[in-house]
Homo-oligomer: A and B are copies of this chain.
Amino acid sequence: MTRTSRVNLHPLRLTRTSDAPIYLQLYRRFRDAIAAGKLQPGDRVPSIRSLASELSIARGTVEQAYQMLIGEGYFLARGPAGTIVSPRLDGAGTSGQAHHARAYTPQSARQQATPDETEPFQFGLPALDAFPRKTWARLAGRSLRVLDTAAMRYPDPAGYEPLRHAIAAYLGISRGIVCSHDQVFITAGYRGALELVCRTLLQSRDVGWHEDPGYVYARDFLLRAGMNLVPVPVDDEGLCLRTAQQQADGARFALVTPTHQCPTGVALSLPRRLELLKWATRQQAWIIEDDYDSEFRYHGRPLPALKSLDQDDRVLYASTFSKVLFPGLRLGYLVVPESHIERFRDSARHLSGPGSILPQATVAAFMEEGHFARHLRKMRVLYAQRQRWLMDALAQTFGTELSIVKHAGGTHLLAMLPTARSDRDFAAAAQSHGLAVQALSRWRVSASNPGGVLLGFANITGPEHARVLARRLFDATRTG
């Protein structure tokens, strides 16, 4: 499938007297060679070791350039099979940006991204370079050998039992949630969890509170499922409960992100948590707690889940492995009240479920053997660093033009624009230059100022990378 590079990249004419550091020159050379068609999609590029030796530069320098090229989708690292020019880059274009220009729309970025594209700043993607792929492959290989004819049958609609045990144990230790594995349903991502809730407890045209701004994909999903959503503003204590009650006290459900409100990052305050639970009990309403990235909190004590305070079984706790492992797994889970297990099992039997057992068995082994906890600890340190890199680079490049909202955690920054600027225009300009920036107003139902942008930082591999991206963002969005 892959050809060896047909063009000789050398002499690269790298110069130590240039303004730009060597890694950046290297990065640009490769980008230009691809744009000019000298390197074609699928071409193999030299190994880091051999290029470093040929150019008499440090391996770390080559590695830095390669990581940027991989991070931006120009290169594709295939482990022992070597690194190639991404097969999906179709055709040339100035500065290699042509392939980014086609049909990028933020609404569908989460799903549309084809396998070997990375858009810088992409929202919701974990650090792909830092995932322990070798350990993962080893565990998956082992699961493969141990799995027997049992794995060939129609699976349990609630998911692979050992994984449900591992999740129940993890939630008890890390999120303060006491539950049995019978309450845990493995789903095909967060969407699968929402679908299970809709099919089991809700009906078309049910009224539900939704955070505004709030997770746009969940909103889309619920609207398509026929729900009647009431947008509820978010302030610095999270969902404005008073407003919600004034607008629709009789709502049937509330969808909340209490740990890090998505996308503003605020935590729902304890008084509001208790009020929300009280409301749900009184109204016999359901609270859907989306706990998508609570693991990533970089200072202060970790907040327990809302579910941990739930005395009356009104909370449906949903989470996903997309942020803590990787989205390609397509696995999430839902914890349901004990009294509703049978109803959920019944509807799970009529849905398409979490898929094949093998990926579930691999996650179970990863959790059981302590790799999961270790990976989370490592990621917390890494993300705190990457967040800092991006914050510094943005401050340096944009000065006061962007003001970063202090986040307690997560994998993206929210940066506010000056009142006069449209965040949609800003995001569109960035997108047309291949930067996966999202406009805050796309995540809002009600019009409001000032605008802001969401910038994912999980795949920023160093301070220089952050500066290059900040600069590209600045250039792309410069007005006039």
Report Cα–Cα, A282/B204, bound state, in Å: 33
Chain B nearest CB, measured from A183 CB (Å) = 17
Q: Are B149 and A111 in contact (CB under 8 A)?
A: no
Q: Are B195 and A352 in contact (CB under 8 A)?
A: yes
Report Cα–Cα, A137/B128, bound state, in Å: 26
Q: Are A352 and B192 in contact (CB under 8 A)?
A: yes
A331-370 interface code vs B (CB 8 A; 1 in, 0 out): 1000000000000000011111111111100000000000
Contact check: which of B113, B137, B356 meets A154 at CB < 8 Å? B113
Q: Are B191 and A352 in contact (CB under 8 A)?
A: yes
Complex contacts, A131 vs chain B, CB 8 Å: 149, 152
Chain B nearest CB, measured from A322 CB (Å) = 8
Report Cα–Cα, A153/B108, bound state, in Å: 14
| Known interface pairs A116-B150, A150-B76; A155-B330 also in contact (CB < 8 Å) | yes
Q: Which residue of chain B lies nearest to A356 when distances are taken between CB atoms in the complex?
A: B359
Give how many copies assemble into the complex: 2
Most chain B C-beta atoms within 10 Å of own C-beta, residue among A146, A151, A355: A355
Report Cα–Cα, A195/B199, bound state, in Å: 13
Of the stretches A77-85, A301-309, A463-471, the one at the interface is: A77-85
Complex contacts, A115 vs chain B, CB 8 Å: 150-151, 153, 155-156, 161
Contact residues of A between 102 and 146, Cβ < 8 Å to B? 108, 110-116, 118, 125, 128-129, 131, 137, 140-141, 144-146
Chain B nearest CB, measured from A77 CB (Å) = 6
Q: Are B137 and A152 in contact (CB under 8 A)?
A: no
| Known interface pairs A153-B328, A352-B191; A137-B148 also in contact (CB < 8 Å) | no
Complex contacts, A199 vs chain B, CB 8 Å: 224
Q: A111-B349, A115-B155, A118-B153 are in contact. List 4 more A-B contacts (CB 8 A).
A: A81-B145, A111-B350, A140-B144, A141-B141
18 A-B residue pairs with CB within 8 Å: A70-B149, A81-B145, A111-B154, A111-B350, A113-B153, A115-B150, A140-B144, A144-B144, A152-B328, A152-B329, A154-B322, A191-B351, A220-B350, A330-B352, A331-B356, A355-B355, A356-B359, A359-B359
